[in-house]
Amino acid sequence: MTRVTVWSENVHDQKDSAVKAIYPEGMHACLAQGLAEDRGIITRTAVLQDPEHGLPEETLEQTDVLVWWGHMAHAEVSDTVVDRIQRHVWEGMGLIALHSAHFSKIFTRLLGTRCSLIYREAGERELLWVCNPSHPITQGLPPCFELPHEEMYGEPFAIPEPESLLFISSFEGGEVFRSGCTWTRGAGRIFYFRPGHETYPTYYDPNIKQVLKNAVHWASNATTRWPTRLENIPIDKAPRKIDLHSTANHG
């Protein structure tokens, strides 16, 4: 079983009646329910308002993939928790950053660039084009699919060169965007996926749910967690014998 923690800042969902109407139990609940349709995935949710934002050490130790949605409260996420998430990603926990999480502390920290982009909120049509039909994240999808209403994000997107570019979006207004990108940081696999503005029902869309389920399986790398401990290996514990009397060692 792949263990997923879905995290959301849970602010719009509480304050904005339009968002509440679409996601009455919060965006995190909708995302978790979509993922749980896959029998190989078990989910839990965590929100900004929980103690330690719902992400104490024990929770991250039991998380194969962390899904992150945030927008207006990035600055309220504690640096201690961001440090902890970063260490877990380095050790092999997967991270899926959604939509406005491009500006989250954890995403910009791990990627190391500004991660800025252009945007417009006009409820326009978005087409998502699959760039790599052989990648695990794009399985079960048509070559192109449509979201009738979304916020526009456009290039230039200030990210490091992706290791895989999986989706490009085109928008009604003409802009294009690298909507699905992967990177590796340490042993951790990172996937950024663009759609998911809070005032549209994007996370109910069957193709979007398929991408997220695929992404969870791709990002799960639980068997190869890296140790963080740095060890001195004494001479007598070296895997092969070191001859301290040889000319090579004593010049």
Closest separation in Å from C-beta 198 to Zn ion: 6
Which residue's CB is nearer to Zn ion, number 2 or number 104?
A: 104
Closest separation in Å from C-beta 129 to Zn ion: 20
Which residue's CB is nearer to Zn ion, number 64 or number 198?
A: 198
Burial class (CB in 10 A: 0-12, 13-18, 19+), 90: middle
Which residue's CB is nearer to Zn ion, number 56 or number 201?
A: 201
Closest separation in Å from C-beta 17 to Zn ion: 17
Rounded to the nearest 5 percent, the helix, strand and coil shares of the chain are 35, 30, 35
Which residue, 196, 161, 154, is CA-closest to 177? 154
Closest separation in Å from C-beta 135 to Zn ion: 25
Closest separation in Å from C-beta 98 to Zn ion: 10
Which residue's CB is nearer to Zn ion, number 38 or number 126?
A: 126
The DSSP call for residue 36 is H
Q: How far apart are CA 73 and CA 82, in angstroms?
A: 14
Which residue's CB is nearer to Zn ion, number 94 or number 196?
A: 196
Tell me how many degrees the CA angle 102-108-109 measures, rounded to the nearest 5.
150
Which residue's CB is nearer to Zn ion, number 53 or number 197?
A: 197
Those residues with Cβ within 8 angstroms of residue 54's Cβ, 6 or more apart along the chain or in another chain:
5, 7, 45, 46, 47
Residues that bind Zn ion in the complex, under the rule CB under 5 A: 100, 151, 197
Q: How many CA atoms lie within 13 A of 167 on its CB side?
A: 27
Closest separation in Å from C-beta 150 to Zn ion: 9
Residue in the shown chain whose Cβ atom is closest to Zn ion? 197
Instruction: Report the Cα 60 to chain-centroid distance in Å.
Output: 14
